[in-house]
Structure 1
């Protein structure tokens, strides 16, 4: 079984080009082995909708590290293993835009899996929203909190794997070339 780096980001506004928080949960040999969480000062404005959804505001992050500061901490985690996220296209694009906006060089591409896409094949005929899947599997969730969301996504991924899902058929590639 590959090493998975499951991550979730929260954003300050509808532009979805900056993070206000990131949560990471690492799975090795079928077990959660590491977790990381940080608020992120996005150095931009917050929409009322996003603040209400996540509970994160300009005041919450005024002394939080910026994305480049957080990246120095998380790059080793993000570079080691197969990335995974729930609705991964969103999280991958936010990551890609942050790296681009801050002119941070990383890999030319990364491989990832999306637990929404996996769920649509494994559990057809039901909603694949994170909170619905957590209710289905009895997983605790404090929704729209990056640490809780990444942990819940990791637990869902582990359930899919335990049910015999072949992760290889769900691997996608995201280009990080400019």
Structure 2
């Protein structure tokens, strides 16, 4: 495994079934080789909590692509490597719901790695919240900004790989059909 597509999403409301932003960092051969960021028009109302947390609102996403428009651009990237996220159950769940709700047929399942789950095995006894792991490794973080969060997750992954982690034992599968 030498190519990882590390991503993070922000959501507009408590339903966690749409994206308001996505950040992607591509890790290849032990380094971050590409990054991508986009706001996303979720076509849903924003909750005050989410806007306060992320700084993204209805006004912020005016003119941003909807998920189907964005997917045309990012699908080749998502198809080009193993997906990775910090607390991947959340990000994979949002991706799955977006694909399902917009009727986008991508794959029946996708393989991914969760850096929280990796960290719990590799570094037991410490907090694996993204901001705590960034403090641990000295990684800059502008938390709850999808581009910063995806880059931070990629850097955490690189630390785990440098420390000798074998990613094969952390690969999980998410069904996109259910």
- Shared topology, TM-score over 0.5? yes
Corresponding residue of 2:35: 35
Corresponding residue of 1:101: 101
1:162 paired with 2:162, answer yes
1:47-66 to 2 correspondences below 5 Å:
47-66=47-66
SS at 2:14's partner residue? Answer: coil
Corresponding residue of 2:67: 67
SS at 2:161's partner residue? Answer: helix
How far apart are residue 2 of structure 1 and its match? Answer: 2.4
TM-score (norm 2): 0.99
Aligned counterparts of 1:163 and 1:113: Cα–Cα separation in 2: 17
How many residue pairs are counted as aligned between the two chains? 178
Aligned counterparts of 1:54 and 1:19: Cα–Cα separation in 2: 12
Unaligned runs of 5+ in 2: none
TM-score (norm 1): 0.99
Unaligned runs of 5+ in 1: none
Aligned counterparts of 1:28 and 1:126: Cα–Cα separation in 2: 28
Aligned counterparts of 2:103 and 2:110: Cα–Cα separation in 1: 17
Corresponding residue of 1:112: 112
How far apart are residue 127 of structure 1 and its match? Answer: 0.5
1:23 paired with 2:23, answer yes
Corresponding residue of 1:130: 130
Deviation string 1:32-52 (CA, Å, 9 cap, x unpaired) is 111110000000000000000
How far apart are residue 108 of structure 1 and its match? Answer: 0.8
RMSD in angstroms over aligned alpha carbons?
0.6
Q: Give every structure 1 segment of 4 or more consecutive aligned residues whose post-TM-superposition deviation is greater than 6 Å.
A: none
Aligned counterparts of 2:14 and 2:78: Cα–Cα separation in 1: 24
SS at 1:26's partner residue? Answer: strand
